[in-house]
């Protein structure tokens, strides 16, 4: 493959679960894929496991990344710029539950994009007037109500509220970034209820099955959609 035609990808939180599956599938499609993890030992072990699965040395590499640490993010950005000179694909997969999870209740809660607070739903669903400041306003109001112990009376989710509100905010941010950078494809996807550590492996899909929808979006052709929410392989609404 000529150097100019190579594609380069970063997958956050990819030493296990869906992220690991995304790395394997991207690398198997000839994409040079950077596996990332907060813990270097686990990340390097993930790279070795990928190689054991048949991924070639030239298509997978590890770099430490903690998405909550600006210095760590800057270090990865410098690495990409110096080593590859470009980045074609970024899969924002890293996440935490933010609490102790009851797996049965988590399954019943669904993918986490819906929130019952009508005001917040209206703000996040108003695509024409959506800005980062408006998203921040929703999150600030949620935090205020959380501290006051009024989540239920204000119409916020009753189960894993931070998880669900953060999902809705990130989905809204997808629209903002897509509008800001029209030359990029920026989409979000719910991979389905996948067996991962976050739900104590009680999901219905395997990690590889969950990774398929994300990989499909990552490999979209130039004429593909942007600013769209997918539930697995189907276009869905942001509501």
Burial classification of residue 73, based on how many CB atoms lie within 10 Å of its CB (0-12 exposed, 13-18 middle, 19 or more buried): middle
CA 152 to chain centre: 27
Closest to 195 in 3D by CA, of 17, 15, 14: 17
Residue 181 among the catalytic residues: no
**Of 8, 84, 163, 181, which is the active-site residue?**
163
For residue 29, how many C-alpha atoms fall within 13 Å in the half-sphere facing its CB?
A: 18
For residue 194, give the DSSP letter: B
Cβ–Cβ < 8 Å for 88, 9: yes
Residue 40: phi and psi, rounded to 5, are -60, -40
Active-site residue list: 163
């Amino acid at each position: 493959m000529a150097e100019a035609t190579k594609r380069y990808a970063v997958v956050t939180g990819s030493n296990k679960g869906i992220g690991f599956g995304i790395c394997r599938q991207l690398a198997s499609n000839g994409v040079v894929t950077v596996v990332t993890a907060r813990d270097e030992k686990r990340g390097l072990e993930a790279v070795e496991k990928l190689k054991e699965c048949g991924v070639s040395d030239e298509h997978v590499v590890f770099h430490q990344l903690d998405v909550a640490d600006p210095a760590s993010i800057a270090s990865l950005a410098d690495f990409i710029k110096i080593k590859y000179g470009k980045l074609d694909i970024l899969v924002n997969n890293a996440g935490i539950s933010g609490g102790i999870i009851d797996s049965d209740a988590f399954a019943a809660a669904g993918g986490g994009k819906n929130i019952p607070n009508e005001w917040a739903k209206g703000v996040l669903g108003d695509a024409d007037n959506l800005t980062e400041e408006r998203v921040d306003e929703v999150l600030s109001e949620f935090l205020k109500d959380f501290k006051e112990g009024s989540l239920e009376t204000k119409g916020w989710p009753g189960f894993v509220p931070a998880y669900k509100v953060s999902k809705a905010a990130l989905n809204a941010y997808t629209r903002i970034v897509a509008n800001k950078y029209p030359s990029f494809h920026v989409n979000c996807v719910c991979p389905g209820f996948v067996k991962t550590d976050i739900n104590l492996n009680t999901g219905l899909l395997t990690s590889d099955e969950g990774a398929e929808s994300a990989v499909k979006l990552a490999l979209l052709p130039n004429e593909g959609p942007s600013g769209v929410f997918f539930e697995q392989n189907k276009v869905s609404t942001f509501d």
